[in-house]
């Protein structure tokens, strides 16, 4: 028996587009004489469809696509993820299902039992969990259908669920396991995925075909990396990262045991490619082409400019250099050099005239006050205004260049440097931004070395550097990582050796700045805990602040 | 037996503050010779604690408060909501529990079974559902403990859950039912609540004591309205809306049958008081006092100014009048008159100088372009800048004045009129804003009549009125309500008689503007479906757009 797995880039709600991609892939699978082609979880709707699932019209459209796909299941079986209606009045109205299509019709529909409801996942918001499990009989084989999280309760010290669907399915002695996934990228995910698959294969002794999505949906990035695992727990094959791909496998070969076909999983390599995918699909799926950003001469905007140029092409990226009286010469020079290296359009607009206008307009109201954060913010907001004006006039979407460290502690100006349609690196800590810049320069100096080596500064008042207001980034990022990704509280952080006062100060900064993060553009997610939909903290919460 | 119910205003994460309030209420209950005092769901942590629940330190602090509260349970029993740890390794780590405290210790802990995971609710994100149910035996009575949603699967055509905890508990023949709730306000909720309580009481034949929270937590507002219902399904008593309150009831009186003690539930009255509560608690719980907003002479900012003045006091509200070349005289006059009526500080800042500065700065880049939405947005963003600058300098928080209709269709400028720390009326449709303005004027003309009667206009280009770009608000709001609150799709809307092209146009505007709404301040929720955490739509979704 030959099994084809199709790792595709779906688009949420684009029923016709998703269908056409799957029909093409089905034809390609047929051309390899495959008996079955397998697509991802909720492939018909794209993942995550979120509250679109609450619209009956949306479900109808999805069911129509499943019906049309079923018609194409001639001389091949198709396994595809889509919602199905729960016929029982009690419980949620939908299941998250795997459809088995063959002989031109829907043969069997199995439902997901383990509904991830944590981080970015909200599945119990929409779906009723499966309560019964049946293998599919096809061409003399028994196939266990599972959907994504269904296999993730294994290989895990603190399982989130009280059951494992494969415990039920193994009683029916399946020949192999299919897993339809939509499993989002983070820089550790490819390793975790293999660990979980191994744990399942070791426990159940059956080969597994794990099919993931590829591409990005707003902030969520799918890396692909679909896996075929032999019963000996070896990776028989791993599909490429960040690329659509279809491959066909002869079951007997997979049963014979694994060829170790894993790819390299270097953190910066993965983050780099993930962010490019994120930008490319945000623009592509919204029907946009052109980006704009402010280039300060600092490292954050430099890294975002490189990513944008690599994602969208030099001809689709333009930058503004917007010096003030506080900007150093080297900043403008570094920014200009970078723009030249990237071969992107740059324009220089001095912000002084607008700054003076605001000074005059506010003077009668600001009597007897001193230069403070207000005037710093005015500079940042003039820059936001200029970028947004170019955006409104020419259709270039503004890329936000805030990094995760500053987003965490609120070191940024709302409607100023925090403006933009997409937050490209707000899930990348400052120390990681440096590493990413060095990674980008590995073959040639794209980002001027001075940008990487000089001390970070916002340049909003004379001789300002970040170190005046913030702890050393090495220490800051270490605390932030423990607090944000690892949910370690003050007690645990102090036990880890961090200074008590510093811990209290940093946690307070993080918690007091929820209101700012509530107003930023979607953050491309590359870690296991990004700001945005996957991290939900009350703004008025009086905790550690 | 005497039962006291305490409807209090908790603050998320303010363990000491919440404890002190409950200790005071316990003493007050004792003073009325109550045998039991009942607090709300998750009263110890405040509701909703959201991802704070993922911090072990947060849970520890909550458990400490429960232990301290237990020590106060002398000569009185205390029933209080707080998280408890799940001792079983499989499943979620926490339960959403009702603690029964008596004789200075924790006597019994019962868990919530039905975990709302829809709209603003994310409870399955954190909690394992209860799988067993035991009444509490106390002073010869049997008490059924339920937590909020546990009673909401009854009286409902399409129940969300497959079980009802009271079906299990009734076999143990309880004498009465306690329900610890944190049930957020919307303008229909007080009626729904009574309907659901009646359905339960009719089904189970037992009296019910339903205890709600009062006060606001960021966008979520609790109206109180706690209820004591007699076994005949009559409201024995209903506690006030939007006020903390403790009352004690003799069980035998409640059993004797209902006195119908319901309050009036006028929509505008409720929305008015809810929004004032929302503003008051947003400021109060963040330790803030002063607000600022831009007064345009239009109805939205007028209504927000009145609400702010009533919530925070005239001395804590100031407004800016920021006319441009396109502002009509009557706008400035109407705004000034309103500020005088409200006795709040107003300042006038003409925006021309900044506008000219931007014109000059952008001229070299805008050659051969025409006045378009760019220049309109520049005006709106200058106003945003001026408000934020006053905010930064003097600590007044900017109130956003967008209404729900314009937020829905994207008729607003990001970082301009969409700026601010709290979106006060972004869950109130334009037609409701008019009704609210008239309601505010019921005793005296606070809002100048001209503000209410003139055609709405953004005044960003000559002779502009909303009706140039948007359908009539009566029709627009009717479509938006069906689409947003009722999740009706194009087919259903057309069947309701709305014009096909108009429906397509409106739904497209709504769906294409998710990116804007993703960047606005929290929206005070007064309807059953507000923008924000309770409505989750993919930005890159290709659906109806």
Tens digit of pLDDT for each residue in A428-483?
999 999 999 999 999 999 999 999 999 888 888 888 888 888 999 999 999 999 99
Beta carbons within 10 angstroms of residue A420's beta carbon: 27
Question: What count of Cα atoms within 13 Å lies in the side-chain half-sphere of residue A162?
Answer: 13
Lookup: tokens for A119: 């981080």
Chain A CA closest to residue B368: A393
Residue with tokens 């932030």: A480
Residue A532 is given by DSSP the state: B
Tell me how far apart the terminal alpha carbons of chain A are, to the nearest angstrom. 61
* E runs forming strands in B356-511: 397-400, 422-423
Question: Average pLDDT, stretch A293-307?
Answer: 97
**A386 vs A206, A296, A397, B45, B358, CA distance in Å?**
59, 14, 12, 44, 8
User: How far is the C-alpha of A302 from the C-alpha of A287, rounded, in Å?
Assistant: 25
Does the pLDDT of residue B465 top 90, yes or no?
no
> What three-state secondary structure class fits A237?
strand
Q: Enumerate the residues of chain B whose CB falls inside 8 A of the CB of residue A88.
A: 162
Residue B259 confidence class, pLDDT cut points 50, 70, 90 = confident
Q: How far is B525 from chain A (nearest CA, A)?
A: 15
Chain B CA closest to residue A522: B518
Confidence (pLDDT) at A423: 98
Which residues 145-174 of B have a C-beta within 8 angstroms of A?
Answer: 157-162
Strand order in the sheet with B208-211: B136-138, B141-147, B176-180, B208-211, B227-229, B235-238
> What three-state secondary structure class fits B190?
helix
B90 CB within 8 Å of a chain A CB = yes
User: How far is the C-alpha of B186 from the C-alpha of B168, rounded, in Å?
Assistant: 30
- Closest partner residue to B358 among A11, A389, A415, by Cβ? A389
Chain A CA closest to residue B218: A540
Confidence (pLDDT) at B133: 97
Q: What is chain B's mean pLDDT, rounded?
A: 96
Q: How far is B448 from chain A (nearest CA, A)?
A: 27
Which residue segments constitute the domains of chain A, with CATH numbers given?
A: 2-265 (3.60.110.10), 276-468+512-517 (3.40.50.620)
> Tens digit of pLDDT for each residue in B300-336?
999 999 999 999 999 999 999 999 988 888 899 999 9
- Closest partner residue to B491 among A57, A492, A518, by Cβ? A57
Count CB pairs under 8 A between chains A and B: 261
Q: Could you tell me if B421 and B445 are in contact, meaning their C-beta atoms sit under 8 angstroms apart?
A: no
Give the β-pairing of B235-238 and B227-229: antiparallel
A245 in active site: no
**A472 vs A432, A464, B364, CA distance in Å?**
14, 15, 41
Residue B462 confidence class, pLDDT cut points 50, 70, 90 = confident
CB contact under 8 A, B354 and A349: no
A348 CB within 8 Å of a chain B CB = no
Question: Average pLDDT, stretch B266-279?
Answer: 98
Q: Enumerate the residues of chain B whose CB falls inside 8 A of the CB of residue A48.
A: 538
From A21, A110, A148, A459, active-site residue: A148
Q: Which residue would you say has higher pLDDT here, A251 or B461?
A: A251
For testing the chain A interface, which of B377, B519, B531 should be mutated: the one with the most A CBs within 10 Å?
Answer: B519
* Residue B178 CB contacts under 8 Å (≥ 6 apart), including other chains: B3, B38, B79, B98, B143, B144, B145, B146, B208, B209, B211
Cβ burial of B229 (10 Å; 0-12, 13-18, 19+) is: buried
Lookup: tokens for B369: 């372009």
Residue with tokens 């399904």: B233
Confidence (pLDDT) at A157: 85
> Tens digit of pLDDT for each residue in B479-528?
999 999 999 999 999 999 999 999 999 999 999 999 999 999 999 999 99
Q: Which residue would you say has higher pLDDT here, A460 or A60?
A: A60
Q: Enumerate the residues of chain B whose CB falls inside 8 A of the CB of residue A374.
A: 389, 392-393
Q: Enumerate the residues of chain A whose CB falls inside 8 A of the CB of residue B399.
A: none
B346 CB within 8 Å of a chain A CB = no
Confidence (pLDDT) at B439: 98
Lookup: tokens for A541: 């919460």
Lookup: tokens for A348: 């220089």
Residue A47 confidence class, pLDDT cut points 50, 70, 90 = very high
> What three-state secondary structure class fits A314?
helix
Lookup: tokens for B133: 């149910």
3-state secondary structure string, B316-331? HEEEEECCCCCCCHHH
B395 CB within 8 Å of a chain A CB = no
CB contact under 8 A, B91 and A161: yes
CB contact under 8 A, A535 and B51: yes
Alpha-carbon torsion (A425, A429, A435, A437), positive or negative = positive
Lookup: tokens for A489: 């509280």
> Tens digit of pLDDT for each residue in A253-272?
999 986 777 788 899 999 99
Cβ burial of A290 (10 Å; 0-12, 13-18, 19+) is: middle
B11 CB within 8 Å of a chain A CB = yes
A496 CB within 8 Å of a chain B CB = no
E strand or H helix that includes residue B265: none
Residue B74 is given by DSSP the state: S
Q: Enumerate the residues of chain A whose CB falls inside 8 A of the CB of residue B522.
A: 518, 539
Q: Could you tell me if A418 and A402 are in contact, meaning their C-beta atoms sit under 8 angstroms apart?
A: yes
Percent of chain A residues topping a pLDDT of 90: 93
Confidence (pLDDT) at A155: 86
A110 in active site: no
A262 CB within 8 Å of a chain B CB = no
Q: How far is B211 from chain A (nearest CA, A)?
A: 22
Strand order in the sheet with B245-250: B105-111, B94-102, B77-85, B36-38, B2-7, B245-250
Q: How far is A132 from chain B (nearest CA, A)?
A: 15
User: How far is the C-alpha of B344 from the C-alpha of B290, rounded, in Å?
Assistant: 12
Does the pLDDT of residue B261 top 80, yes or no?
no
Percent of chain A residues topping a pLDDT of 70: 100
Confidence (pLDDT) at B257: 82
Does the pLDDT of residue B92 top 80, yes or no?
yes
Q: How far is A455 from chain B (nearest CA, A)?
A: 27
Question: Average pLDDT, stretch A218-240?
Answer: 96
Chain A CA closest to residue B388: A374
Helix axes A267-286, A299-312, angle to 10 degrees: 60
Q: Enumerate the residues of chain B whose CB falls inside 8 A of the CB of residue A351.
A: 361
Confidence (pLDDT) at A467: 84
Residue B466 confidence class, pLDDT cut points 50, 70, 90 = confident
Can you spell out the DSSP letters for B241-254?
BTS-EEEEEEHHHH
* E runs forming strands in A282-408: 291-294, 317-321, 345-348, 397-400
- Closest partner residue to A353 among B57, B357, B369, by Cβ? B357
Q: How far is A133 from chain B (nearest CA, A)?
A: 18
Q: Could you tell me if A130 and A110 are in contact, meaning their C-beta atoms sit under 8 angstroms apart?
A: yes
Question: Average pLDDT, stretch B205-221?
Answer: 98
User: How far is the C-alpha of B213 from the C-alpha of B193, rounded, in Å?
Assistant: 13
Give the β-pairing of A235-238 and B422-423: unpaired
Omega of the bond leading into B479 within 30 degrees of 0 (cis): no
Strand order in the sheet with B345-348: B345-348, B317-321, B291-294, B397-400, B422-423
User: How far is the C-alpha of A336 from the C-alpha of A330, rounded, in Å?
Assistant: 10
Q: Enumerate the residues of chain A whose CB falls inside 8 A of the CB of residue B385.
A: 358, 378, 381-382, 385, 415
Q: How far is A57 from chain B (nearest CA, A)?
A: 6
Residues of B annotated as catalytic are 41, 112, 148
User: How far is the C-alpha of B362 from the C-alpha of B365, rounded, in Å?
Assistant: 5
Residue with tokens 């220089």: A348
Residue A420 confidence class, pLDDT cut points 50, 70, 90 = very high
Confidence (pLDDT) at A327: 87
Judge if ipTM > 0.85.
yes
**Phi, psi (deg, nearest 5) at residue B257:** 120, 160
From A112, A170, A280, A430, active-site residue: A112
Q: How far is A457 from chain B (nearest CA, A)?
A: 21
Confidence (pLDDT) at A257: 82
Q: Enumerate the residues of chain A whose CB falls inside 8 A of the CB of residue B52.
A: 537-538, 541, 543
B117 CB within 8 Å of a chain A CB = yes
* Residue A468 CB contacts under 8 Å (≥ 6 apart), including other chains: none
Tell me how far apart the terminal alpha carbons of chain B are, to the nearest angstrom. 61
CB contact under 8 A, A58 and B286: no
Question: A82 forms bridges with which residues in the sheet?
Answer: A97
Of B211, B216, B184, give the one whose Cα is nearest residue B197.
B211
CB contact under 8 A, B351 and A366: no
- Closest partner residue to B392 among A158, A374, A541, by Cβ? A374
B533 CB within 8 Å of a chain A CB = yes
Q: Enumerate the residues of chain A whose CB falls inside 8 A of the CB of residue B543.
A: 12-13, 52, 58
User: How far is the C-alpha of B510 from the C-alpha of B410, rounded, in Å?
Assistant: 7
Q: How far is B221 from chain A (nearest CA, A)?
A: 12
Which residues 22-41 of B have a C-beta within 8 angstroms of A?
Answer: none
**B273 vs A214, B187, B341, CA distance in Å?**
49, 11, 20
pTM of the model: 0.97
B495 CB within 8 Å of a chain A CB = no
CB contact under 8 A, B92 and A160: yes
Q: Could you tell me if B48 and A536 are in contact, meaning their C-beta atoms sit under 8 angstroms apart?
A: no
Cβ burial of B327 (10 Å; 0-12, 13-18, 19+) is: buried
> What three-state secondary structure class fits B205?
coil
B14 CB within 8 Å of a chain A CB = yes
């Amino acid at each position: 028996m030959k099994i084809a797995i199709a790792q595709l880039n779906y688009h949420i709600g684009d029923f016709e587009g998703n269908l056409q991609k799957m029909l093409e892939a089905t034809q390609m699978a047929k051309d390899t004489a495959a008996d079955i082609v397998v697509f991802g979880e909720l492939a018909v709707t794209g993942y995550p469809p979120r509250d679109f699932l609450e619209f009956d019209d949306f479900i109808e459209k999805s069911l129509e696509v499943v019906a049309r796909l079923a018609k194409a299941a001639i001389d091949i079986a198709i396994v595809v993820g889509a919602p199905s209606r729960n016929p029982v009045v009690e419980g949620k109205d939908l299941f998250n299902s795997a459809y088995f299509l063959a002989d031109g019709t829907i043969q069997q529909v199995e439902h997901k039992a383990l509904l991830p409801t944590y981080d970015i996942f909200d599945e119990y918001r929409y779906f009723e969990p499966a309560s019964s499990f049946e293998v599919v009989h096809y061409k003399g084989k028994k196939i266990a259908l599972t959907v994504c999280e269904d296999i993730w309760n294994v290989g895990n010290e603190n399982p989130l669920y009280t059951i494992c669907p494969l415990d039920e399915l193994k009683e029916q002695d399946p020949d192999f396991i299919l897993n339809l996934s939509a499993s989002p990228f983070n820089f550790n995910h490819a390793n975790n995925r293999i660990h979980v698959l191994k744990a399942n294969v070791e426990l159940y002794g059956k080969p597994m075909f794990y099919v993931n999505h590829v591409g990005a949906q707003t902030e969520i990035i799918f890396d692909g990396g679909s896996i075929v695992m032999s019963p000996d727990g070896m990776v028989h094959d791993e599909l490429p990262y960040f690329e659509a791909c279809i491959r066909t496998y002869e079951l007997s070969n997979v049963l014979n045991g694994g060829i170790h076909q894993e790819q390299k999983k270097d953190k910066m390599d993965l983050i780099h490619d993930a962010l490019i995918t994120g930008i490319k699909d945000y623009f592509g799926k919204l029907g946009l082409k052109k980006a704009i950003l402010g280039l300060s001469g600092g490292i954050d905007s430099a890294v975002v400019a490189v990513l944008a140029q690599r994602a969208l092409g030099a001809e689709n990226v333009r930058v503004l250099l917007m010096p003030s009286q506080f900007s150093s010469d080297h900043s403008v020079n570094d920014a200009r050099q970078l723009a030249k290296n990237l071969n992107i359009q740059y324009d220089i607009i001095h912000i002084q005239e607008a700054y003076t206008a605001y000074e005059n307009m506010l003077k009668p109201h600001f009597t007897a006050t001193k230069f403070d954060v207000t005037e710093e913010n005015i500079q940042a907001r003039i820059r936001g205004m200029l970028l947004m004006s170019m955006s409104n006039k020419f259709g270039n979407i503004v890329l936000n260049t805030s990094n995760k460290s500053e987003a965490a502690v609120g070191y940024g100006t709302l409607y100023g440097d925090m403006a933009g349609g997409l937050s490209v690196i707000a899930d990348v800590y400052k120390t990681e931004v440096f590493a990413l810049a060095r990674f980008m320069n590995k073959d040639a100096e794209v980002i001027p070395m001075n940008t990487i080596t000089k001390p970070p500064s916002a340049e909003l008042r004379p001789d300002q550097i970040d170190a005046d207001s913030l702890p050393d980034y090495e220490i800051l990022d270490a605390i932030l990582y423990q607090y944000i990704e690892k949910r370690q509280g003050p007690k645990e952080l102090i036990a880890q050796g961090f200074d008590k006062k510093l811990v209290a100060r940093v946690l307070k900064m993080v918690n007091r700045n929820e209101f700012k993060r509530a107003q930023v553009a979607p953050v491309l997610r590359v870690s296991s805990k990004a700001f945005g939909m996957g991290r939900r903290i009350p703004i008025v919460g009086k905790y550690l602040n």
